[in-house]
């Protein structure tokens, strides 16, 4: 270099100065190389990190439809007023300058004044908006501060779920207020409210939602997730995939600009096997028993296991969960006796009472203690069963009973007598073949397996006393859904079905060819391997229960004249049950049952009604079932005709 060459002629000390300067400049260049070239990616990453905020945009939730395409869970638009803080910034600054008026201030005082000014600008804006909408609006200082500290780049929601007239007023008047904007969000809506609450479940706010593959959102627009029921079971399909946008924020975290990277894709629709008109009829029928009756109704398609109706009462309104729930509503919903949140049809385990005599009878037939000769052989019932020193009462009057009379009068004596002969293990193992005491594997988070032991479990525990109880449906518990599946197996000739609640999952719009649209076929859980003539016999005596004057359900299925059947051309086979709930030796409550199938000759429907604290199965539950059959008859529900091919599982 020319310059350096000439320097060389200069003296030593000048060269030393030149060397010192060169050295430091070299250090600077090396430092810059290290920062700008070697570690550039690291600094770019921290730049992105401090400059961008990723926001999750939840997708429109898919619908939940019944088998006829009627909607059970829908979305409706909700109008919110949002306040964008960055648009108020010039006001903050101007107001601050005005308020300060050139006074000298310490840093703490300035900060303090800034807060005051910000809050006063925001609350004035909100107040003026309130005046415009003729609705008092306030934003608590606490809320504003928290919001401002955490997410200044995010709009504050001032008013949620505006009524249509307010929306119209806002849009027509378009008040000259800075930073206020109207946003439309989609809000979950359940048109049926209480009727199908337990099946669909409800949503809870889930602001921490994130997809597995893309974490790291700074915040998420209000998101909901299914808590229980179908909303929970099909949450992934219903939810769709969230979109993503990023907000560029400045050093004060105000929003500068926004880019949408991926649009949200709406969730898929879930089609249930439920039949809404029938569900409503069943809900009304059950509620006709008493105000806030505690009970459940299950209606199944006996051949496919399709759940046509699943009612639990008392119920709750799932719409309440999308907003804030007032304290007293919470209190009501967690009432320890009514338990509205509890799905009695699948979660409630109750002693089946006399309805279990179906199993006892089948066990006796299978063991041969009831055979062609003993079936018709009448034995004397003294009105109670004496077991050692214990006397088990029989509600059926004393007299001679053969099998048919014993069944339709629901004689405890008769079934304990033969049940003990057939033996504990045979009854228990047959019960297990009906999958009593086992979970079905419902995806709804509302399931109880009931309690039904295997023979091995009670080998050393149960004596004849326990077995006698078992014969008449005490000592064990089942859910109404399990009873319905049991009845269906009897009605359909020995196939224990899986209940089918979800019929298919389909794209939100027919055109959209994507996602894992799926059809769910009926599935057989197991075969009973019981001779058809045994099942036919049971069906015959069940029909007798409603058709013969002595039957426990006769009154319920006939008009007040005790002659005319309420159902025309529709025979129903049923079994009543009244189980005792004991505390110690005292009977404190009754669980009343009616399990049934119809039409009698070619059973298609299974109706199970359970009412807590009812009078008796025949008086309380059978009339409910009768009303449901009337509704079925009226609708002639077009359940999958012809029945789809059965796919056996396991």
Partner 1 sequence: MIGTAVNQREQRVDWAVVIGLVGLMALGAVFIASASLAKESANRIAWYRLEHVKQLIWYALGIAMAVAAWLTDYRRLARWSLVIYWFSIVLLVAVLLVGTSHGWGARRWIDFGPFQFQPSEFAKLAFLIMMANYLSRPETELQKPGVFAAAMGMTLLPFVLIIKEPDLGSALVLLPTGIAMMFAAGVPTRFLLRLAGGAGLVIAMILVDVFFAPPQWRIPLESYQRKRLMVYFGVNSVPKTASAEERQRVLKEFRDAAHSVQQALISVGSGGMIGKGWRKGTQNALGYLPRAVAHNDFIFSVIAEESGFVGSVTVITLYSLVLFSGLRIAGQARDRLGRLLAVGVVSLLFCHVGINIGMNIRLTPVTGIPLPLLSYGGTSVLCTLIAIGLLQSVFRHRRA
**Interface ranges with partner 1 (CB under 8 A):** 1, 3-4, 6-7, 9-11, 13-14, 16-18, 21, 24-25, 27-29, 31-33, 35-37, 39-40, 42-44, 46-47, 50-51, 248-252, 256
Q: Least distance from C-beta 122 to partner 1, angstroms?
A: 21
Q: Least distance from C-beta 7 to partner 1, angstroms?
A: 6
Q: Is 14 or 99 the residue whose CB approaches partner 1 more closely?
A: 14
Q: Is 51 or 633 the residue whose CB approaches partner 1 more closely?
A: 51
Q: Is 9 or 291 the residue whose CB approaches partner 1 more closely?
A: 9
Please list, in sequence order, all residues whose beta carbon lies within 8 angstroms of the beta carbon of residue 644, skipping any fewer than 6 positions away.
304, 521, 522
Q: Is 37 or 101 the residue whose CB approaches partner 1 more closely?
A: 37
As a whole number of angstroms, the distance between CA 466 and CA 393 comes to: 15
Q: Least distance from C-beta 291 to partner 1, angstroms?
A: 59
Q: Least distance from C-beta 37 to partner 1, angstroms?
A: 5
Q: Least distance from C-beta 56 to partner 1, angstroms?
A: 23
Q: Is 1 or 461 the residue whose CB approaches partner 1 more closely?
A: 1
Q: Is 7 or 392 the residue whose CB approaches partner 1 more closely?
A: 7
Q: Angle CA(406)–CA(409)–CA(413) in degrees, nearest 5?
A: 50
Please list, in sequence order, all residues whose beta carbon lies within 8 angstroms of the beta carbon of residue 540, skipping any fewer than 6 positions away.
404, 573
**Strand duo 390-393 + 384-387: pairing:** antiparallel
Q: Is 106 or 134 the residue whose CB approaches partner 1 more closely?
A: 106
Q: Is 108 or 645 the residue whose CB approaches partner 1 more closely?
A: 108
3-state secondary structure of 361: helix
Q: Angle CA(533)–CA(531)–CA(542) in degrees, nearest 5?
A: 45
Concatenate the DSSP letters of all residues of 612-648 into one string. ET-S-IIIIIHHHHHHHHHHHHHHT---SSSPPPPEE
DSSP 134: T
Token look-up 């926001």 returns 55
As a whole number of angstroms, the distance between CA 229 and CA 272 comes to: 12
Q: Least distance from C-beta 178 to partner 1, angstroms?
A: 16
Q: Least distance from C-beta 66 to partner 1, angstroms?
A: 53
Q: Using CB atoms within 10 A of its CB, is residue 446 exposed (0-12), middle (13-18) or buried (19+)? A: buried
User: Between helices 141-150 and 107-133, what is the axis angle to 10°?
Assistant: 120
Q: Least distance from C-beta 85 to partner 1, angstroms?
A: 15
As a whole number of angstroms, the distance between CA 533 and CA 453 comes to: 28
* Upstream peptide bond of 614 is cis (omega within 30 degrees of 0): no
Q: Least distance from C-beta 145 to partner 1, angstroms?
A: 17
Terminal alpha carbon distance of the chain: 88
Q: Is 89 or 166 the residue whose CB approaches partner 1 more closely?
A: 89
* C-beta atoms surrounding 331 within 10 Å: 9
């Amino acid at each position: 270099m020319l310059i350096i060459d000439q320097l060389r002629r200069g003296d030593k000390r000048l060269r030393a100065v030149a060397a010192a300067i060169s050295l430091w400049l070299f250090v600077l260049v090396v430092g810059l190389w290290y920062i700008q070239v070697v570690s550039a990616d690291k600094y770019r990453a921290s730049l992105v990190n401090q400059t961008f905020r990723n926001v999750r945009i939840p997708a429109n939730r898919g619908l939940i439809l019944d088998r006829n395409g009627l909607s059970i869970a829908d979305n409706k638009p909700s109008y919110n007023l949002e306040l964008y803080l960055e648009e108020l910034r010039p006001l903050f600054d101007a107001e601050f300058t005005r308020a300060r008026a050139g006074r000298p201030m310490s840093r703490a005082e300035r900060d303090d004044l800034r807060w005051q000014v910000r809050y006063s600008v925001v609350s004035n804006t909100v107040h003026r908006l309130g005046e415009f909408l003729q609705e008092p609006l306030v934003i608590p200082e606490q809320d504003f501060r928290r919001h401002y500290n955490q997410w200044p780049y995010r709009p504050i929601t001032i008013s949620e779920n505006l009524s249509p007239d307010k929306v119209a007023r806002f849009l027509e008047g378009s008040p000259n207020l800075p930073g206020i904007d109207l946003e439309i969000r989609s809000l979950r809506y359940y048109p049926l409210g209480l009727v199908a609450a337990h099946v669909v479940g409800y949503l809870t706010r889930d602001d921490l939602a994130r997809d597995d593959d893309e974490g790291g959102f700074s915040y998420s627009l209000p998101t909901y997730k299914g808590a229980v029921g179908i909303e929970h079971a099909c949450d992934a399909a219903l939810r769709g995939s969230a979109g993503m946008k990023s907000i560029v924020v400045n050093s004060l975290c105000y929003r500068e600009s926004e880019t949408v990277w991926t649009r949200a894709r709406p969730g898929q629709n879930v089609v249930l096997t439920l039949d809404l008109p029938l569900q409503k009829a069943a809900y009304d029928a059950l509620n006709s028993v008493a105000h806030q009756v505690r009970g459940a109704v299950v209606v199944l398609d006996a051949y496919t296991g399709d759940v046509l109706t699943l009612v639990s009462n008392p119920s709750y309104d799932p719409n309440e969960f999308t907003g804030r729930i007032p304290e007293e509503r919470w209190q009501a919903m967690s009432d320890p006796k009514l338990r509205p949140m509890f799905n009695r049809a699948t979660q409630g385990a109750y002693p089946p009472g006399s309805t279990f005599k179906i199993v006892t009878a089948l066990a006796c037939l299978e063991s041969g203690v009831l055979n062609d000769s003993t079936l018709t052989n009448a034995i004397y019932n003294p009105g109670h069963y004496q077991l050692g020193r214990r006397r088990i009462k029989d509600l059926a009057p004393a007299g001679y009973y053969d099998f048919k009379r014993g069944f339709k009068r629901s004689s405890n004596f008769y079934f304990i007598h033969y049940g003990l002969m057939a033996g504990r293990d045979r009854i228990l193992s047959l019960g297990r073949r009906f999958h009593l005491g086992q979970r079905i594997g419902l995806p709804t988070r509302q399931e109880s397996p009931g309690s039904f032991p295997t023979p091995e479990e009670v080998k050393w525990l149960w004596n004849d006393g326990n077995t006698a109880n078992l014969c008449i449906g005490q000592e064990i518990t089942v859910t109404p859904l399990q009873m319905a599946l049991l009845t269906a197996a009897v009605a359909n000739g020995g196939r224990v079905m899986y209940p089918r609640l979800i019929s298919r999952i389909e794209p939100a719009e027919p055109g959209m060819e994507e996602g894992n649209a799926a059809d769910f076929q009926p599935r057989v859980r197991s075969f009973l391997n019981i001779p058809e003539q045994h099942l036919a016999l049971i069906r015959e005596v069940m029909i007798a229960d409603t058709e013969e004057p002595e039957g426990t359900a006769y009154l319920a299925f006939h008009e007040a004249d005790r002659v005319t059947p309420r159902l025309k051309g529709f025979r129903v086979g049923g079994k009543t049950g009244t189980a005792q709930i004991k505390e110690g030796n005292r009977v404190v409550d009754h669980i009343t049952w009616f399990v049934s199938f119809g039409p009698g000759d070619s059973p298609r429907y299974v109706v199970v009604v359970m009412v807590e604290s009812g009078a008796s199965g025949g008086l309380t539950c059978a009339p409910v079932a009768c009303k449901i059959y009337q509704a079925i008859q009226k609708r002639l529900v077009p359940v999958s005709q012809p029945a789809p091919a059965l796919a056996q599982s396991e």
